[in-house]
């Protein structure tokens, strides 16, 4: 898939663990793992908003377009 999810990088920058983010955002760790591994087919604006709020970042910091 040509959209990369750089959630790991942002989590490392903010020194936050996956389960902490999952708790703040209100999703399961399993779903967060799906998102981190790039298996997710789509992401809701509400989830993206919550992640950006929790990590204090912009959507572009999490999502990146890479040409195939």
Partner 1 sequence: MAKNFIFKTLIDILFIFQGFGIFGAFVLAPFGIAKINQVNLADNKWPTHFWILLLLGIIAYIMFMIGIYHLRKVGRYLLSKRYFTVEIISNLKRSGVFLIFSGVLGLMGFIINWILRLEANYNAIYGTEIALPFFIGIVGLFFVIQSEALLFAKNFKEENDLTI
- Site residues, partner 1 (CB under 8 A): 27, 31-32, 34-35, 39-44, 47
Measured from the CB atom, the residue of 16 and 43 that comes closer to partner 1 is 43
Nearer to partner 1, 1 or 60 (CB): 1
Q: CB neighbours (10 Å) of residue 55?
A: 19
Nearer to partner 1, 44 or 66 (CB): 44
Distance, CA of 43 to CA of 6 (rounded, Å): 14
* Residues forming beta bridges with residue 63, ordered by sequence position: 5
Which is nearest to 40 in space by CA: 49, 50, 30? 30
Question: Residue 43 CB, nearest distance to partner 1 (Å)?
Answer: 5
């Amino acid at each position: 898939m040509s959209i990369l999810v750089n959630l790991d990088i942002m989590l490392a920058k903010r020194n936050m663990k996956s389960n902490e983010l999952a708790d703040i955002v209100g999703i399961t760790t399993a779903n967060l793992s799906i998102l981190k591994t790039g298996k997710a087919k789509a992401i809701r604006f509400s989830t993206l908003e919550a992640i950006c709020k929790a990590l204090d970042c912009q959507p572009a910091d999490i999502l990146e377009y890479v040409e195939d």
